[in-house]
Amino acid sequence: MTKQGKSFSKIGVLIILVMLSILLSMGFGTAELGYQKVWQCLTDECQRPIYQTILWDIRFPRVLMGFLAGFALAAAGALMQNVTRNPLADPYLFGIVAGAGLGATLSGLLPEHLQAISLPLAAFIGALTAVSIVVVVLMGNNWRRVEHLLLAGVAVSFLLSAFTSFILYFGEAFASNRVIFWMMGSLARADYYALSWVIPVISVCIILALVFARQLDALLLSDESARTLGVNVDKLRLLALIVCAAMTAVIVSYCGGIGFVGLMIPHIVRPFFGLTTAKLLLSSGLVGGCFLIWVDVVARTIVPGQEIPIGVITSVIGSLFFLFIMRKV
């Protein structure tokens, strides 16, 4: 089989895994349905109408959101790492989460009559503001230097986090708690309305990245080498940054901070799918989606009758993963 044929079949395997994960994971939760009941509801009539409600109004949007969040974060991470040629890059480094956190804090802690917009929208605006600050700061000559991009992102991130901490410190305790819980990440807010925002944004972003896949590949060696291949490096990198920011921002707005997915998944995927943008993006996305579906299953079942924040679990797994890699390499 050709190399190209092999990667098609590998992607095929991943798609089947995702389908299975979505089906199986719908059985887990506070109300244990089990895959038999899920299967019965899908193929036949549900035993009880309440199952129908649990399955389609609660579980399905949640599992789908889990998949999309994992897909978007991992794909954004892969894209970011490729365009900055830095294996430690992550959309979170660009202040996206810090910005979203500040937006959420402002919307949650302002006096009632000033709370004109919902928490997700405020978070989204905050995230885009953070990215805009990074881009504007770098608009001059420094724009060409990849390291400056990363450093500026980290600086903006800390600045906005400091504002958030300041506001939370003086904020009313109950509202502060709400924001703090949001920042730890959860898929509990997932519903069809949220999906109606998330699906189009992610689709457009992924399509855009795939349109420029070949040009993005050129960046893998060096900027100069990409320019000699006819690629407009500065514009392309800005586009990639915006694509990553939009994908991450829309996920963070609804699901809060889910760390380490974008950083970890591309590292797992690279040895199997290589580095070229199209393959890496799709495979990272699918693996990331699968991963988050199951992390969420753990989040909603490990402590009976209670949920633990999904971001806590991904951070634990992610950091252990990196420590493990360091020891091995």
Partner 1 sequence: MTIIHLQAENVSWQINNKHIINDVSFTAIKGETVGIVGPNGAGKTSLLKCLYQENKMTSGKVTLSDTSLDLFDRKDIAKKVAVVAQQHEAVFNLTVFDIVHMGLIPHKAFFESNTDSDIELIDKALSQVNLQDKKYQVFNTLSGGEQQRCLIARAIVQRPEILIMDEPTNHLDIYYQHQILSIVKQLGLTLIMTIHDLNLAAQYCDRLLLLSQGEVKAFDDTENVLTAALIKDTFSIDCLVDKNPLTEKMRVTYGGASHD
Q: Are 248 and 96 in contact (CB under 8 A)?
A: yes
**Closest CB 210 distance from partner 1, rounded Å:** 7
57 DSSP 8-state letter: I
**Window 76 to 95, contacts with partner 1 (CB under 8 A):** 82, 85-87
Nearer CB in complex with partner 1: 90/217: 217
Instruction: Determine the Cα angle at 14 with ends 12 and 15, to 5°.
Output: 65
CB 198 within 8 A of CB 250: yes
Rounded to the nearest whole angstrom, what is the least distance from the CB of residue 142 to partner 1 in the complex? 16
Considering only 34, 274, 303, 324, the residue that binds partner 1 (CB under 8 A) is 274
Of 293, 307, 295, 304, nearest in space to 25 by CA: 293
Q: Which residue has the tokens 């990331």?
A: 288
CB of residue 240 to partner 1, shortest distance in Å: 15
Q: Which is nearer to partner 1, 86 or 161 (CB)?
A: 86
Of 217, 269, 284, 286, the one binding partner 1 by CB under 8 A: 217
Nearer to partner 1, 1 or 173 (CB): 1
Containing 286, the helix (H) or strand (E) segment is helix 277-301
Contacts of 170 by beta carbon, 8 Å cutoff, 6+ apart: none
Query: Quick check: 182 binds partner 1 (CB under 8 A)?
Result: no
Binding mask 4-33 for partner 1 (x = CB under 8 A): x-----------------------------
* Pairwise CA distance, residues 55 & 22, whole Å: 12
Least Å distance, CB 225 to partner 1, is 7
Give the number of other Cβ atoms within 10 Å of residue 52's Cβ: 13
CA-CA distance, 165 to 192, in Å (whole number)? 32
204 sits near partner 1 (criterion: CB under 8 A): no
Among 7, 25, 215, 248, binds partner 1 (CB under 8 A): 215
Q: How far is the CB of 85 from partner 1 (least distance, A)?
A: 4
Segment contacting partner 1 (CB under 8 A): 59-67, 188-196, 224-232, 296-304?
224-232
Does residue 227 bind partner 1 (CB under 8 A)? Answer: yes
Type of residue numbered 177: N
Which letter, b or e, does each residue of 61-91 get, where b requires 16 or more Cβ atoms within 10 Å of its Cβ?
bbbbbbbbbbbbbbbbbbbbbbbbeeeebbb
Q: Give the distance from CA 114 to its chain's centroid.
A: 29
DSSP state of 147: H
- The structure tokens listed for 180 are 């703090």
From the list 221, 302, 316, 320, which residue makes contact with partner 1 (rule: CB under 8 A)?
A: 221
Query: Exactly one of 32, 44, 112, 224 binds partner 1 (CB under 8 A); which one?
Result: 224
The answer to whether residue 218 forms part of the interface with partner 1 (CB under 8 A) is yes
The residues of the shown chain that bind partner 1, judged by CB under 8 A, are 3-4, 82, 85-87, 210-212, 214-215, 217-218, 220-222, 224-225, 227-232, 270, 274-276
